[in-house]
Structure 1
Amino acid sequence: MYHLIKKDILMQKKALKLSVLLIIFFTITLSNMGPAGLTVGVLAISYQLVLGASALEDKNKSDVILISLPIKRTTIVLSKYVSIYIYAAYAALGFYLIYLITSLLNLPLDIPFNFSGFIGAIIAVTLFCSIAFPLIFKYGFLKAKMANLFIFFVFVFGGTGLVSYLNKNNKLLMSQDIISFFRNSSDIELLLILAVPLVLILICSYNISLAFYKKREF
């Protein structure tokens, strides 16, 4: 699995260079969004790299070669899911380094980096890829491209709009007890609470992707 992930990374040398510029761009343009800015930024970089690897494989017919090698399809699919968090960690690290640099130099930029934003990024990336990967493993990247692009913009614009709406109308949508619970819970506690449903969603998505991939004809 390590070599499959390494292959995806090495194939994307140009994309990785571009992602550095995108991190700088998102740092400036999303700085006024607070934690949501980090969430959107990490999701966008992860989208670029996760789907970029699938695009290159589709273009080079890599799947045909992979299934002819003594590699289990379970390993191929699992490597894609593991790579999600490698790309997300890479993006988060990029934002964090810029945050440190601007803090040390006292630059007039409000860099959107904090633990709440990172948790939001992990949730967004997990949910997005849990929907995108089954489509890719069933139809291939090119056929699933438009659907995944649509899903991405739904996550970005729909997610930021929903957060803004909830912030303004949370008293109408949730009881005071629930609001108080979330406000008084630490970031670690919230992460642990959300970890269980996220893992279940990820497991379901993995099994669906694997079932599609085993039945797919190349």
Structure 2
Amino acid sequence: MFHLIKKDILIQKRAFKLSILLMIFFTITLLSNMGPAGLTIGVLAITYQLVLGASALEDQNNSDIILISLPIKRTAIVFSKYVSIYVYAVYAILGFYLIDLMIDLLNIPLDIHFNVQGVMGAIIAVTLFCSLSFPLIFKYGYLKSKMANLIIFFVFVFGGAGLVNYLSHKWTWSPDAISFFNNNSGTGLFMIVMVPLAFILIFSYFLSLNFYQKREF
């Protein structure tokens, strides 16, 4: 499994260089204006770029045909893709963190909102996004599912931002709901949300595995 993830990283050297420029751009445009939501969108965008970039290169080079001809179980191939989600997400989070440190050290006049809430939101976002996109990729391949995954991505970005704005301005919270959020830390709420997301991720994995085992190349 480690070698499969390493392979995906090595074939994307150009994409990783581009991702650094994108992180600098997102830091200036998103993190300095949108707070934690900006970090969440930035990490999701970088993860989207690298996860789907690897799938695109594999589709273009017919790598799946080569992989299934090797003594590698399809379970390992699918599982490595799901693990790579968090490899890329951690890479993006560390990248934004290092840029934030550089801005502080150089006293650049940018108010960057790198915080735990943004990191937790990013993990939730990439988990849910990839849980929806991977079954499509394993069933149809990257090229055939490209448009659907692009739509899912923009729904996450614009729909998520719109939902947060609506809930913060239009939704009337009950006293019980306000008390619940006040009495639970951000980490506690994160763990509560991650429990159903873990089930969604596991279901997505087995669905992807089922599609991939039945797929004809």
TM-score for both structures, normalised by structure 1: 0.96
Displacement, 1:14?
0.1
Indicate the percent of aligned positions where both proteins have the same amino acid.
74
Structure 2 Cα separation of the partners of residues 135 and 67 of structure 1 = 19
What SS class does the counterpart of residue 170 from structure 2 fall into?
helix
Displacement, 1:194?
1.5
Runs of 4+ in 1 over 3 A off after TM superposition: none
Displacement, 1:82?
0.2
Letter in 2 for 1:197: P
1:40–1:121 CA contact under 8 A, matched in 2: yes
Alpha carbons of 1:214 and 1:187: their partners in 2 closer, same or farther (altered >3 Å)? Answer: same
Structure 2 Cα separation of the partners of residues 109 and 181 of structure 1 = 34
Displacement, 1:56?
0.3
Displacement, 1:170?
3.2
Q: Which runs of 5+ in 1 are unaligned?
A: none
Match of 1:176 in 2: 175
Structure 1 Cα separation of the partners of residues 12 and 76 of structure 2 = 20
1:138–1:213 CA contact under 8 A, matched in 2: yes
Match of 1:139 in 2: 140
Structure 2 Cα separation of the partners of residues 141 and 33 of structure 1 = 31
Displacement, 1:195?
1.9
Structure 2 Cα separation of the partners of residues 101 and 181 of structure 1 = 37
Letter in 1 for 2:22: L
Match of 2:126 in 1: 125
Structure 2 Cα separation of the partners of residues 57 and 164 of structure 1 = 38
Structure 1 Cα separation of the partners of residues 26 and 113 of structure 2 = 9
Match of 1:167 in 2: 168
Query: Deviations along 1:137-156, whole A, 9 cap, x unmatched?
Result: 00000000000001000000
Match of 2:188 in 1: 189
The count of residues paired between Structure 1 and Structure 2 equals 216
What pairs up with 1:147-158 in 2 under 5 angstroms? 147-158=148-159
Query: Deviations along 1:97-124, whole A, 9 cap, x unmatched?
Result: 1111212233211213110011110111
Query: Deviations along 1:26-58, whole A, 9 cap, x unmatched?
Result: 000112101000000000000000000000000
1:27–1:112 CA contact under 8 A, matched in 2: no
Match of 1:26 in 2: 26
Query: Deviations along 1:178-208, whole A, 9 cap, x unmatched?
Result: 2332244222212221121111010000000
Structure 2 Cα separation of the partners of residues 115 and 15 of structure 1 = 27
Structure 1 Cα separation of the partners of residues 163 and 190 of structure 2 = 20
Match of 2:55 in 1: 54
What SS class does the counterpart of residue 170 from structure 1 fall into?
coil
Displacement, 1:176?
2.2
Match of 1:14 in 2: 14
What SS class does the counterpart of residue 171 from structure 2 fall into?
helix
Match of 1:43 in 2: 44
Letter in 2 for 1:19: S
Structure 2 Cα separation of the partners of residues 102 and 73 of structure 1 = 44
Alpha carbons of 1:212 and 1:151: their partners in 2 closer, same or farther (altered >3 Å)? Answer: same
Match of 2:210 in 1: 211
Match of 1:102 in 2: 103
